[in-house]
Structure 1
Amino acid sequence: MINSLLIILVIFGTLFYILFRKNKSTVTRPIINFNSRRHFALIIGYIVFLLAVLVTAEIVGQQYQSLPASDKLTKADYTELNYNHHLSIGEVDAAINASQLIEKRTHPAGDTLTIRNTYDDAYIYIERKSTDDGVIEELLFKPRLLVNEHNFSDKVQVEKPVWQDNILTIRPQPISEIRYARFYDSVLLNQMTQTKLRNSTNPGYATSQLVVYLLVPEGIKIEASSEDSIQYVRN
Structure 2
Amino acid sequence: MTKKDYHDRIETPPMLDYGIYLQVDKLLTCQKPLAEMVNSDELQFQIVHQVEELWMKLIAYSLVDVLEYMEAQNTHRIVTLMGRVHRLMRMMTAQLDLLETMSPKEYQQIRLQLGNGSGQESPGFKLLLRMPPDLWQGFKTHYLDARGLSVADIYDAKYDHGDSYVVAEALVEFDELFQKFRAHHLYLIHRSIGLGSKSLKGRPVEILRGGADHRFFPELWDIRCEMTDAWGSTYGVVRESISGAKSAKA
Q: Tell me the TM-score normalized by structure 2.
A: 0.24
Larger Rg: 1
Please state which structure has a larger fraction of its residues in helix. Answer: 2
Please state which structure has a larger fraction of its residues in strand. Answer: 1
Q: Tell me the TM-score normalized by structure 1.
A: 0.25
